Every structure is written in C-alpha cells, then in structure tokens.
C-alpha cells in the first residue's frame, strides 16, 4: 500500500512539474507573440506615417502642377519644397500623385545658377521680350533658351532682352525646386508697362504658328494700347504654307543647319558619308493637332528637296500621321538603313528629348526603334536647336525684320 501511495505521489509530482513547465513555456510563447505583434504594429504605423508624409508632398506638387497662376502660387511652391526637404530618402521614394513623383524635386537636371530669368527692372524704353514654352531641365534652359536670349542681347545692345514662358506648369516647377522666378506672358507684359517701355518687340522661340503662338497673340492684343509700338516677330519656321509641298527660306535654313550639326556630332564628314555607312537621321518634333501640323510635312518635303534621302521627320504626338513613331520606323527600314540616330527637332532638349525620345520606358522612341529589331544600332543626340549658332542667327534675323519695319 505504501508503495502504491508513493507511486501516486511521484506521479502527481511529475504531473505538477510538467504542468508548471507547460505553463512557463506557454507564457513565454505568449510574451514572444505579443512582442512580435507589437513590433509588427510599430512597423506598420511607421510605414503608414512614411506614406502619409509622402502623400502630403504629392498633394502639394499636384497643386502647383497647373497652368494657371494664382495669388497663392508663390506660397504653394515654397510649401511644396519645404515639405519635400523634410522627408527622409525612403519617404521621398514613396511620393506618387496624379502628376507628382520623386523626380519632380529629386532629378538632377543641371545647375540652375547658370540660367538668367531676365526679369530685371529699370530697363529703358526699348525691350525685346523673348517668349518660350519653357523647360524645367536646367542645363537645357541655359544652353537653348538663354543661348537665344544672349545672342539677341549681343546683337541689339540698345535694347533690353527680357524673358517670358507660356507654360505655368514649368514656371512653378523651376520656382519650387530651384527658387528661380520666371515671368509668364502676362507678368512680363505688366512688367514692361511698369518699366515705362515704349517700344516692345516680341520674339517667340516657338517652332511654328501653332496653338502656343495663337495664345501669345491673344495675350499681346490686350496690351497693344499700352505701348507706342508692339511688334511680333516670326517663329523659327516662318509662315505656314497651304499644304505639305510649300516650303520657305526659314525651313530650308533650319533643315541645312540642323542636319549639318547632326552629321558633325555623329562624326561624319558629310551626310553622304553617313548614308554610305547605312545611317539615317530621325529628327523628332512635338507634333500638334493644330492646322500648323503641316509644317512637319513641309520639313520632310524640304529634306527631300535638298536631297537628304536619309533624313526623316517624326513627332511625339504622331500628328501628322506619317510622323508617328511606328510609321517612321517602317519608312527608315524600308529605305534600307541599318543604323539610326535620333535627335530632337525642338528648340529645347527638355522633357520630350530626354524622356519621350531617349528615355528608358518602353514607349520612348529609342526603345521602340530598338524593340523593332530592324536596326543594328540606335543612338541619340540630346541637343536642342537653341544652342546652335546658326539657329540663333535666324532668330536675330527675324527680330531685325520687325525692328527695321517702317
């Protein structure tokens, strides 16, 4: 009996020990699970806070990604930049909005200090207002737009050269990111009035008589009675002809100057030498639904008239239709060329040149030409028309034509 009781006691003792051990293990597991849950919750809260901070910046960027300036624009630009600067590197990568992304503030486009907004006052009675669409690419703005402005100022030392951009979206971008304040057209015209300008010459850097040019003319019309004289010079390609067969001296000059620059940049002695090597040059413009889109077809006609068989004109927008990327690819391939050099037919090598033409996305012209597998090589020249001395001379001539009008 004593042995049986002893066995029972030992058994009960062991059960108790096991029970305590199980309880301790269970308590440890519970503590670990709680700590893990708490850590997960903290991490989730941190991610949520990061996204919230990034979303705030995205909203602020989208608020200034607009074409209309308001009384709040200056403060909004400042607020967006300050909010961006307050983000961590990880948070900056999370910025994503309707138009906002990390590149808005984060992409390096060059040194903004090389540019000159040309918005000074007390400039005298004679002003040349150079009106451009604009670009947020700093190096391109300094090389192309400032290049034209500098050339005009050198050519006309008795006139004050000033600047206006038509794209408020770009003005806001440059102001927010770099602190550089560029006038829009209305601001520039108001500034000219306030400065007591009597003789105003407006030189658009636009390629053609398109939508941007029409909007400029509408804006200028409202200010004509505020000056003794207001004259608007021709855009780069001059008057738009009635159909694709009509060319002019301006288009001929641009065709010759641009092609010569592209050939030299590619390392060939002549266009014929490039042709013998199987090289085709594709000059990509913007394109437009405006009736002035025929200007692109006229430029192709001009290339053909000059005997530039290995030069093709295309447009980002694919208007006119024959200038769409897929159609240009087919035309170049059918002509038997095996090497392609892409270059912008644009005054400024900005967003379209860097992204739509030479970008890494699958819909860029570079990617589409490569993906077609019809060519041995596809290279790019990311250079705008504005930095070419011959093109600057054309603008000088256009300005001279209206200054010298009787």
Query: Looking at the domain assignment, is residue 11 inside a domain?
Result: no
Output the CA torsion sign for 154, 159, 163, 164: negative
Share the mean pLDDT of the chain: 92
Query: Looking at the domain assignment, is residue 1 inside a domain?
Result: no
- Residue position matching structure tokens 């692109």: 296
User: Cα separation of 179 and 105, whole Å?
Assistant: 12
User: Cα separation of 406 and 249, whole Å?
Assistant: 22
Q: Which two tokens stand for residue 9?
A: 């006691």
Assess contact for 348 and 357: CB atoms under 8 A.
Answer: no
Instruction: Supply the DSSP symbol for 346.
Output: S
What strands lie across the sheet with 279-285, from one edge to the other?
311-315, 279-285, 339-344, 377-380
Whether pLDDT at 12 is above 70 = no
Name which of 400, 351, 387 is nearest 257 in CA terms: 387
Q: Give tens-digit pLDDT for 353-394.
A: 999 999 999 999 999 999 999 999 999 999 999 999 999 999
Give the total number of structural domains in the chain: 3
Across 72-174, the runs of DSSP E, i.e. the strands, are: 126-132, 160-165
- Note whether 255 and 383 are same-domain residues: yes
Ramachandran area for residue 196 (φ above 0: left; ψ -120 to 50: alpha; else beta): left
Q: How far is CA 143 from CA 7, 88, 204, in A?
A: 99, 33, 17
The helix (run of H) or strand (run of E) holding residue 61 is helix 2-64
- Note whether 225 and 264 are same-domain residues: no
Q: Which two tokens stand for residue 182?
A: 């560029």
Q: Is the pTM of this model over 0.85?
A: yes
Judge if the upstream peptide bond of residue 92 is cis by omega within 30 degrees of 0. no
Give the end-to-end CA distance of the chain in Å, rounded to a whole number. Answer: 137
Query: Looking at the domain assignment, is residue 8 inside a domain?
Result: no
Across 166-275, the runs of DSSP E, i.e. the strands, are: 199-204, 229-232
User: Cα separation of 113 and 165, whole Å?
Assistant: 18
Query: Looking at the domain assignment, is residue 292 inside a domain?
Result: yes
- Note whether 52 and 73 are same-domain residues: yes
Output the CA torsion sign for 342, 345, 351, 352: negative
Neighbouring C-beta atoms of residue 348, cutoff 10 Å: 26
- Note whether 260 and 382 are same-domain residues: yes
H helices present in 306-380, as ranges? 325-334, 351, 365-371
Query: Looking at the domain assignment, is residue 23 inside a domain?
Result: no
Whether pLDDT at 194 is above 50 = yes
CA 97 to chain centre: 17
Name which of 332, 287, 336, 293 is nearest 311 in CA terms: 332
Helix, strand, coil tally for the chain in percent (to 5)? 55, 10, 35
Q: Give tens-digit pLDDT for 13-69.
A: 444 444 445 545 555 555 555 555 555 566 667 778 999 999 999 999 999 999 999
CA angle 354, 359, 362 (to 5 degrees): 150
Whether pLDDT at 187 is above 80 = yes
Q: Can you give the pLDDT at residue 189? A: 98
Name which of 24, 20, 81 is nearest 56 in CA terms: 81
Query: Looking at the domain assignment, is residue 14 inside a domain?
Result: no
- Note whether 269 and 346 are same-domain residues: yes
Classify 122 as helix, strand or coil: coil
Whether pLDDT at 299 is above 70 = yes
Q: What is the CATH number of the domain that holds 325?
A: 3.40.50.1400
Q: Give tens-digit pLDDT for 243-286.
A: 999 999 999 999 999 999 999 999 999 999 999 999 999 999 99
- Note whether 256 and 379 are same-domain residues: yes
- Note whether 36 and 83 are same-domain residues: yes
Q: Which two tokens stand for residue 208?
A: 């053609």
Domain that holds residue 56: 31-93
Q: Give tens-digit pLDDT for 89-129.
A: 999 999 999 999 999 999 999 999 999 999 999 999 999 99
Partners of 200 in beta bridges: 127, 230
Query: Looking at the domain assignment, is residue 359 inside a domain?
Result: yes
Q: Can you give the pLDDT at residue 40? A: 57
- Note whether 299 and 330 are same-domain residues: yes
- Note whether 255 and 381 are same-domain residues: yes
Classify 40 as helix, strand or coil: helix
- Note whether 378 and 254 are same-domain residues: yes
User: Cα separation of 241 and 36, whole Å?
Assistant: 74
């Amino acid at each position: 009996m004593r042995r049986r009781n002893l066995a029972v006691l030992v058994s009960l003792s062991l059960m108790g020990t096991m029970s305590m051990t199980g309880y301790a293990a269970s308590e440890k597991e519970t503590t670990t699970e709680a700590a893990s849950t708490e850590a997960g919750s903290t991490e989730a809260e941190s991610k949520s806070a990061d996204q919230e901070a990034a979303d705030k910046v995205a909203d602020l960027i989208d608020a200034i990604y607009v074409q209309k300036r308001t009384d709040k624009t200056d403060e909004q630009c400042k607020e967006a930049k300050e909010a961006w600067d307050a983000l961590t590197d990880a948070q900056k990568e999370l910025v994503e909005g309707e138009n906002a992304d990390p590149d808005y503030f984060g992409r390096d486009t060059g040194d903004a200090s090389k540019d000159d907004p040309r918005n000074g006052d007390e400039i005298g009675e004679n002003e040349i207002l150079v009106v451009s669409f604009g670009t947020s690419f700093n190096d391109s703005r300094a090389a192309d737009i400032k290049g034209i402005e500098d050339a005009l100022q050198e050519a006309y030392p008795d006139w004050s050269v000033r600047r206006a951009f038509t794209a408020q979206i770009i003005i806001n971008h440059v102001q927010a990111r770099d602190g550089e304040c560029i006038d829009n057209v209305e601001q520039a015209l108001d500034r000219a009035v306030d400065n007591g300008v009597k003789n105003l010459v407006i030189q658009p850097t636009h390629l053609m008589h398109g939508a941007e040019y029409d909007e400029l003319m509408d804006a200028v019309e409202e200010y004509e009675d505020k000056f003794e004289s207001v004259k608007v010079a021709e855009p780069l390609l001059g008057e738009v002809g009635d159909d694709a067969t009509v060319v002019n001296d301006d288009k001929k000059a641009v065709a010759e100057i641009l092609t010569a620059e592209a050939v030299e940049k590619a390392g060939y002695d002549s266009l014929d030498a490039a042709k013998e090597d199987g090289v085709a040059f594709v000059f990509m413009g913007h394109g437009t639904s405006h009736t002035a889109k025929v200007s692109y077809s006229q430029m192709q006609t001009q290339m053909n008239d000059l005997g530039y068989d290995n030069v093709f004109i295309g447009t980002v927008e694919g208007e006119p239709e024959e200038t769409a990327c897929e159609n240009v690819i087919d035309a170049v391939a059918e002509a038997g060329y095996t090497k392609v050099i892409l270059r912008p037919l644009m005054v400024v090598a900005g967003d379209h040149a860097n992204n739509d033409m030479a970008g890494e996305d699958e819909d860029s012209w570079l990617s589409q030409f490569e993906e077609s597998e019809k060519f041995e090589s596809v290279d790019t020249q990311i250079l705008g028309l504005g930095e070419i001395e011959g093109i600057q001379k054309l603008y000088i001539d256009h300005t001279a034509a209206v200054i010298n009008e009787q």
